[in-house]
Amino acid sequence: MVVSLHSLLCATLALASAAAGAPATTQDKHFVVEQVKNPHFQRSGPLALAKAYIKYNVPIPSSLQQAIENVKPSRRDTGSATTTPEQYDSEYLTPVQIGTPAQTLNLDFDTGSSDLWVFSTETSANDVDGQTLYDPSKSSTAKKLSGYTWSISYGDGSSSSGDVYTDKVSVGGLAVTAQAVEAARVVSDSFTSESNLDGLLGLAFSSINTVSPRQQTTFFDTAKSKLSSPLFTADLKYHTAGKYNFGFIDTSAYTGSIAYTAVDPSQGFWEFTARGYAVGSASLSTTALDGIADTGTTLLLLPDSIVRAYYSKVSGAQNSNSVGGYIFPCSTSLPSFSFGVGSSRFTIPGKYMNYAPITDGSSTCYGGLQSSSGIGINIFGDIALKAGFVVFDGGNQRIGWAAKTLS
């Protein structure tokens, strides 16, 4: 990717930002974390797809690159934001307390990565644009790990990096001590542009943590011994705030039973095999789908053959080189998309498959399902996750999906 493309993406291809969440409720050995959607985040279909390429260090295809070069970035501090609230349902931030006394930062919870990194007082002033900064000098429990560093690299060659402290970290009322907190020194523009994003809390497996010379555990792994059950759940919602629960399963949050399937953690992700797929009310195919559940990716990314099969049922749909993906008239009623988990069938409602107008006020919309072929891995992002109640069971290395009452 060329530098000019990186500069274009910097203000719009960022992880989500939001206001701080409501106070969390706590119980013995389990805790609840509320999420609040960001009313200012401007979303774009091509940029959402490009974000996945960048996240997984894959060059962006030329057609998609051309499409995003036509997207003008908007900066929060200019007051440029989309005003349609129903467009904002994909990305959230959660308040996290770090240090003693506590410093509250708004972090993106990401099941596709394993670093807890934050903007800090060590971050270059040129890389800061309104973020809350972690100041280890003001925490009596902060301890620098001498000689330790971290670095996250992107497909365009840019990176975010810094040094490492251990400190007290509290999420939803549960505190852990000596948690690795990665303090940023250099932050790539794609993060700087999101003024409400103070960092990221990774929830993948600790095996892909980037700290050197010795990897550190994720917050979830550090907290496991304090939990009633070694799991957390994601209850992302459509057009409204969602919730993360740690240590317990809220039986009021879903209907029916939870269908579990094994997770393969060998690559560090919550990777599972879906048992077939279906468009609309058709029977599930016999095609097995290996993919990862990733709260940090907006779209549902699957093989070309499945994407073509889906959009063949969508009136007016076309794969547009100029936009960098499948588009269709916004007035079109989309079919649902289903996939198998264990012995159950899990369904994403058709309205969820419509990601957004290609530009504000456009009558053409960008599909929530796009091709994974260029990335090389199937990703069940927020388009899928927000349609269900999802259990990330670290103790049994399995993932569970359940239906919930739809908005």
Return the active site residues: 110, 294
CB distance 402 to 258 below 8 Å? yes
Among 279, 341, 347, which Cα is nearest to 310's?
279
Mode of pairing for the β-strands spanning 174-186 and 116-118: parallel
Among 338, 316, 317, which Cα is nearest to 326's?
317
CB distance 102 to 169 below 8 Å? no
Q: Which three-class secondary structure string do you get for 198-250?
A: CEEEECCCHHHCCCECCCCCCHHHHHHHHCCCCEEEEECCCCCCCEEEECCCC
Q: What is the DSSP letter of 264?
A: B
CA 26 from centre of chain: 24
Q: What is the DSSP letter of 130?
A: S
User: Is residue 286 packed enough to be buried (19+ CB in 10 Å), middle (13-18) or exposed (0-12)?
Assistant: exposed
Residue 106 to residues 20, 77, 119, 132, 279, Cα–Cα distance (Å): 6, 18, 10, 8, 37
The enclosing H or E element of 146 equals: strand 143-153
Helices 45-55 and 62-69 pack at an angle, to 10 degrees, of 130
Q: Cα separation of 166 and 183, whole Å? A: 10
Phi, psi dihedral angles at 127 (to 5 degrees): -100, 0
